[in-house]
Amino acid sequence: MLEALENIIKQMNCNSRRREDIYPRFYLMNWIRNNLRMSYESIGKMFGKDHATVINAINSHSNMTALKDVTYKFHIKGISTQLENLEFSKSMVDNNSKTLESDLLTCDTIDELKDILNKVRTSYYY
């Protein structure tokens, strides 16, 4: 769980336009939107982007997934595997604490995400 969160933070700090960097970012933005139900604006703030960039990333993810783009699948394999391990968050939030959910949903910056990571490490939510 912690490794996946750390990887997310690492991805958010990357501003590269290389495929190996943007494709995981597209996937990550889509994952955050679908799993954490954050607004486009909030997701954009976490990545240092505007809402239009997030919408474009999510649309690009949908298009490449629908086309079964092999290059896209190759570049997102690592982050998708790590995020599968993060699926704990839904059950953990549902079963243990609404505080973690509210913190994740209101998180707008990398620093706030790092604070949440530290709270998880210290068992703050349990």
Question: Domain for residue 95, yes or no?
Answer: yes
Structure tokens that stand for 118 in this block? 């530290």
Query: What stretch of H or E contains 29?
Result: helix 19-36
What's the rounded Cα separation, in Å, for the pair 105 and 101? 6
What's the rounded Cα separation, in Å, for the pair 90 and 42? 19
Question: Domain for residue 113, yes or no?
Answer: yes
Could you give the C-alpha distances from 53 to 57, 58, 111, 114, in angstroms and in order?
6, 9, 21, 23
pLDDT of residue 12: 63
Give the contacts of 120 (CB within 8 A, at least 6 positions apart).
1, 2, 5, 100
Question: Domain for residue 69, yes or no?
Answer: yes
What's the rounded Cα separation, in Å, for the pair 91 and 58? 25
The domain tally of the chain equals: 1
pLDDT of residue 7: 64
pLDDT of residue 64: 95
Question: Domain for residue 126, yes or no?
Answer: no
pLDDT of residue 97: 44
What is the residue-level pLDDT of the chain in tens, covering all 126 positions? 446 655 676 666 677 888 888 998 999 899 888 887 888 988 888 888 899 999 999 999 999 999 999 999 999 998 888 777 665 444 444 444 457 877 887 888 888 888 888 777 776 765
Question: Domain for residue 91, yes or no?
Answer: yes
Cβ distance 110 to 14 under 8 Å?
A: no
Structural domain containing residue 24: 2-121
